[in-house]
């Protein structure tokens, strides 16, 4: 028995590693292809999403974008929703076979798939949103975001609102791309209040995007040092950061969509990505013969914004709605960035 | 100041779910069932506690439902490994994989959301002295398990069943009954661990939110030699290493290095404990085990 047991332990140690890797791919294959749109005679667009759209605000905006684009071009649109890696592949294949004028794909998950298909079908035009292929293809247009500009403005709000003079960010991982959510936050705060102390914690761990308990502890370690404004860029961990901030009476800043309703009175503002703007303008660019180029969307193009700077701020449940004076100063900063008078450093710039 | 009360509190919060799950794992280990399905049972506990608390408004019903659901889920292992004599490792892995898919699926069907369910009105567990009542329960469970295993007839029989099932059977002790009991109790404890994580550490459910804590509990069982106090020490070590890792980022160490802290500590502890054991065994060596 003892011997068998020993063997079991060793086997388990090996399988433990395997299993943690395997759990990442959740095999709930559900090929959700919802098609809508009237049969117009104009151009046709297909949107392929990396996940089910559901309540995902980021993808919902992409759907809005493709519908608006179809309307503007008097054309038709289809949305293929993926649920996992396998269905992403199937959907891209199905989209290519249907030969629409432009295939729009959201997310880095599609980079390799698009590279393959773009090579095999040089006449098919593609538009990638929020990512790009490593190699440039003449038939692939890319739309990427300058998140750092929005994060900088959120940092400015934090600097103006901080009472302790300490602001911090809880970020997912320590990579140049994710540092776009932490470094500019510090820079923005220092811009408006030079003496601000800044700090960043990275969630890390075995599943940095899912681990809200870990993100909450990282936030706690910043709050314990007197930080009272927290940039939350921890994916699902954001909710953990909000909980930590709420418990200490501190404030937090969300990303991608309006996260204020999940902790009213705690979330000050959000750096939002207007996927709809990127989809619409991207389609125009690709149709206008500008495939093969990467266009970046920031404050100037309306691709990046703050909830506080958009219409509907008063009903957003965001704390910033009560601080019109702060918003005025932030608007002035935005105008400077838009006019090119103020440059925000990009941590991901190569 | 590096070591302060905040660090200790953070370590103890990280400790509770791991400790509860590891205690369950230790009982199974003692009964001769190698349980690596802790992660899956815990994740199921997370979802059930959040769903029940949301629909009833009572976090306590959430805790109860989590314990029951995870215990029912543990029957997969009990029936598969004890009655049908299947491989416990394979079953455990299957349970972990199934739990990820099942909870993601339920999240979509029950709440209609993907990724995370979070609502400001979701009722979490109250805090007493900075910790949830489940945290105190975890500490009490260590004492109960230690006493049970060393003093009570049930504990002695459980160990007997694990070490020599045939001998136990000849003495009229049913190995199957004790193994079932151990697996079900581990289910209850993992359910509590899940409730602690989803209604205590945070108040929300997100897909795969256990994030490897069940695996750390499995390692804590091995490191603690399946003894309740040993498991407590191992879990404490993890909690402290993790909390200290967060602090190390504050003094400028890169995240990739601080992430490794709990694992480096585990490796060191594993190495030291086996080295000591081997040294102790040396005089009588010569006969292979």
Question: DSSP secondary structure string, A3-59?
Answer: HHHHHHHHHHHHHHHHHHHHTTS------EEEE-----SS-EEEEEESS--TT-HHH
- Residue carrying structure tokens 């209604």: B199
Cβ contacts of B256 on chain A, cutoff 8 Å: 174, 204
Last residue of a domain, one of A145, A170, A203: A145
Please indicate if any CB of chain B lies within 8 Å of the CB of A3. Answer: yes
Residue A246 inside a domain? The answer is yes
Those of residues 86-115 in A touching chain B at CB distance below 8 A are none
pTM of the entire structure? 0.84
- Interchain contact, B249 vs A201, CB within 8 Å: yes
B206 — phi, psi (to 5°)?
-130, 150
Last residue of a domain, one of A99, A114, A145: A145
Per-residue pLDDT at B244: 86
Give the number of other CB atoms < 10 A from CB of residue A257: 18
Taking CA atoms, B107 is separated from A80, A145, A288, B66, B159, in Å, by 21, 30, 42, 15, 39
pLDDT digits (tens, 9 = 90+) for A253-266: 999 889 999 999 99
Per-residue pLDDT at A264: 94
Average confidence (pLDDT) over A75-95: 92
CA atoms within 13 A on the CB side of B170: 3
Boundaries of domain holding A118: 32-145
Q: How many domains does chain A have?
A: 2
Residue A24 inside a domain? The answer is no
CATH code, domain carrying A318: 3.40.50.2300
Taking CA atoms, A191 is separated from A156, A314, A328, in Å, by 7, 26, 15
Confidence of residue A9 (pLDDT cuts 50, 70, 90): very low
CB A318, CB A252: distance < 8 Å: no
Strand partners, A33: A80
Residue A349 inside a domain? The answer is no
Tell me: do A177 and A125 sit in the same domain.
no
Q: What is the pLDDT of chain A when averaged over all its residues?
A: 87
Tell me: do A102 and A212 sit in the same domain.
no
Tell me: do A166 and A137 sit in the same domain.
no
The structure tokens listed for B130 are: 């900075």
Tell me: do A241 and A316 sit in the same domain.
yes
Tell me: do A66 and A128 sit in the same domain.
yes
The nearest alpha carbon in chain A to B97 belongs to A23
- Interchain contact, A240 vs B202, CB within 8 Å: yes
Cβ contacts of A51 on chain B, cutoff 8 Å: 114
Q: Is the dihedral of CA B238, B240, B242, B245 positive or negative?
A: negative
Per-residue pLDDT at A320: 95
CB B217, CB B22: distance < 8 Å: yes
pLDDT of A17 > 50? The answer is no
Tell me: do A116 and A181 sit in the same domain.
no
Average confidence (pLDDT) over A122-151: 94
Percent of chain A with pLDDT over 90: 74
Distance CA A292, CA A298 (A): 20
Find the CB nearest A212 among B92, B202, B255.
Answer: B202
Per-residue pLDDT at B253: 87
Residue A263 inside a domain? The answer is yes
pLDDT digits (tens, 9 = 90+) for A54-71: 767 788 899 999 999 999
**pLDDT per residue of chain B (289 residues) written in tens, 0 to 9:** 455 788 889 999 999 999 999 999 999 999 999 999 999 999 999 999 999 999 999 999 999 999 999 999 999 999 999 999 999 999 999 999 999 999 999 998 999 887 889 988 999 999 998 899 999 999 999 999 999 999 999 999 999 999 998 899 898 889 999 999 999 999 999 999 999 999 999 999 999 999 999 999 999 999 999 999 999 999 999 888 888 888 888 888 888 888 888 888 878 888 887 888 777 766 554 444 4
Pairing of strands A229-233, A166-171: parallel
The nearest alpha carbon in chain B to A218 belongs to B246
The structure tokens listed for A314 are: 């008063």
| Predicted ipTM of the assembly | 0.87
- Interchain contact, A207 vs B212, CB within 8 Å: yes
- Interchain contact, A207 vs B197, CB within 8 Å: no
Residue A287 inside a domain? The answer is no
Per-residue pLDDT at A244: 96
Average confidence (pLDDT) over A211-235: 94
Tell me: do A141 and A184 sit in the same domain.
no
Cβ contacts of A174 on chain B, cutoff 8 Å: 254-256
Residue A256 inside a domain? The answer is yes
Tell me: do A138 and A153 sit in the same domain.
no
pLDDT of A267 > 70? The answer is yes
Closest-CA distance, B114 to chain A, in angstroms, reads: 7
- Most B CBs within 10 Å: which of A204, A238, A245, as the mutation test of the B interface? A204
pLDDT of A240 > 70? The answer is yes
Per-residue pLDDT at B15: 93
Residue A209 inside a domain? The answer is yes
Per-residue pLDDT at A350: 65
Please indicate if any CB of chain B lies within 8 Å of the CB of A78. Answer: no
Residue A331 inside a domain? The answer is yes
Please indicate if any CB of chain B lies within 8 Å of the CB of A218. Answer: yes
Distance CA A117, CA A127 (A): 12
Tell me: do A132 and A151 sit in the same domain.
no
Tell me: do A180 and A243 sit in the same domain.
yes
Find the CB nearest A218 among B93, B120, B246.
Answer: B246
- Residue carrying structure tokens 């309006």: A258
Tell me: do A212 and A332 sit in the same domain.
yes
Lateral strand order in the sheet of A197-202: A197-202, A166-171, A229-233, A251-256, A267-273, A304-306
Tell me: do A204 and A113 sit in the same domain.
no
Per-residue pLDDT at A207: 84
Distance CA B54, CA B28 (A): 32
Region of poorest pLDDT, from A36-40, A118-122, A162-166? A36-40
pLDDT digits (tens, 9 = 90+) for A40-55: 457 999 999 998 887 6
Per-residue pLDDT at B284: 52
Last residue of a domain, one of A116, A145, A174: A145
């Amino acid at each position: 028995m003892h011997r068998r047991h020993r063997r079991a332990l060793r086997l388990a140690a090996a399988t433990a590693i395997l299993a943690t890797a395997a759990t990442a791919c959740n095999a709930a294959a559900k090929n959700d292809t919802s098609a809508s749109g009237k049969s117009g005679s104009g151009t046709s667009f297909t949107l392929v999403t990396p996940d089910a759209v559901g309540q995902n605000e980021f993808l919902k905006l992409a759907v809005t974008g493709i519908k608006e684009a179809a309307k503007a071009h008097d054309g038709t649109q289809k949305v293929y929703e993926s649920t996992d890696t396998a269905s992403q592949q199937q959907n891209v294949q199905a989209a290519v076979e249907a030969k629409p004028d432009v295939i729009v794909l959201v997310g880095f998950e599609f980079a390799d798939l698009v590279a393959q298909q773009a090579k095999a079908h040089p006449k098919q035009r593609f538009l990638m949103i929020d990512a790009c292929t490593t190699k440039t293809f003449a038939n692939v247009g890319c739309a990427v975001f300058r998140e750092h500009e929005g994060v900088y403005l959120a940092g400015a709000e934090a600097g103006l609102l901080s009472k302790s003079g300490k602001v911090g960010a809880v970020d997912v991982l320590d990579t140049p791309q994710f540092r776009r959510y932490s470094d500019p936050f510090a820079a923005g705060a220092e811009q408006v209040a030079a003496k601000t102390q800044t700090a960043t914690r990275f969630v890390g761990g075995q599943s940095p995007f899912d681990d809200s308990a870990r993100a909450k502890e990282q936030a706690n370690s910043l709050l314990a040092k007197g930080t009272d404004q927290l940039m939350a860029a921890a994916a699902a961990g954001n909710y953990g950061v909000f909980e930590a901030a709420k418990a200490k009476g501190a404030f937090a800043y969300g990303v991608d969509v309006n996260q204020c309703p999940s902790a009213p009175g705690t979330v000050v503002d959000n750096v939002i990505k207007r996927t709809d703007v990127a989809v619409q303008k991207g389609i125009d660019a690709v149709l206008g013969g500008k495939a093969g180029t990467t266009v970046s969307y920031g404050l100037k193009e309306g691709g990046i914004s703050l909830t506080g700077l958009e219409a509907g701020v008063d009903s957003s449940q965001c704390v910033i709605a009560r601080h019109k004076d702060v918003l005025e100063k932030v608007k002035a900063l935005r105008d400077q960035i838009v006019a090119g008078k103020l440059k925000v450093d990009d941590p991901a710039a190569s | 100041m590096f070591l302060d009360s905040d660090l200790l509190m953070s370590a103890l919060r990280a400790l509770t779910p791991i400790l509860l799950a590891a205690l369950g794992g230790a009982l199974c280990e003692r009964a001769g069932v190698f349980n690596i399905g802790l992660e899956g049972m815990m994740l199921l506990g997370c979802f059930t506690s959040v769903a029940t608390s949301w629909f009833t408004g009572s976090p306590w019903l959430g805790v109860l439902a989590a314990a029951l659901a995870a215990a029912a889920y543990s029957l997969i292992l009990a029936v598969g490994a004890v009655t049908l004599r299947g491989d416990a490792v394979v079953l455990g892995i299957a349970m972990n994989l199934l739990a990820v898919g099942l909870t993601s699926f339920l999240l979509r069907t029950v709440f209609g959301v993907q990724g995370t369910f979070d609502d400001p009105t979701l009722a979490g567990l109250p805090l007493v002295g900075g910790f949830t009542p489940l945290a105190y329960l975890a500490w009490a469970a260590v004492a109960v398990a230690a006493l049970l295993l060393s003093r009570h007839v049930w504990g002695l029989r459980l160990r007997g069943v694990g070490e020599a099932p045939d001998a136990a059977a000849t003495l009229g002790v049913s190995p199957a009954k004790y193994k079932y009991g151990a697996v079900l109790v581990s289910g209850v404890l993992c359910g509590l661990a899940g409730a602690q994580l989803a209604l205590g550490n945070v108040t929300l459910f997100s897909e795969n939110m256990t994030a490897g804590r069940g695996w750390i509990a499995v390692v804590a069982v091995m490191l603690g030699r399946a003894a309740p106090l040993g498991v407590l020490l191992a879990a404490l070590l993890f909690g402290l290493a993790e909390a200290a890792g967060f602090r190390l980022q504050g003094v400028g160490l890169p995240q990739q290095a601080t992430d490794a802290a709990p694992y480096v500590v585990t490796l060191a502890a594993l190495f030291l404990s086996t080295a000591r054991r081997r040294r102790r065994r040396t005089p009588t060596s010569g006969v292979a085990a």
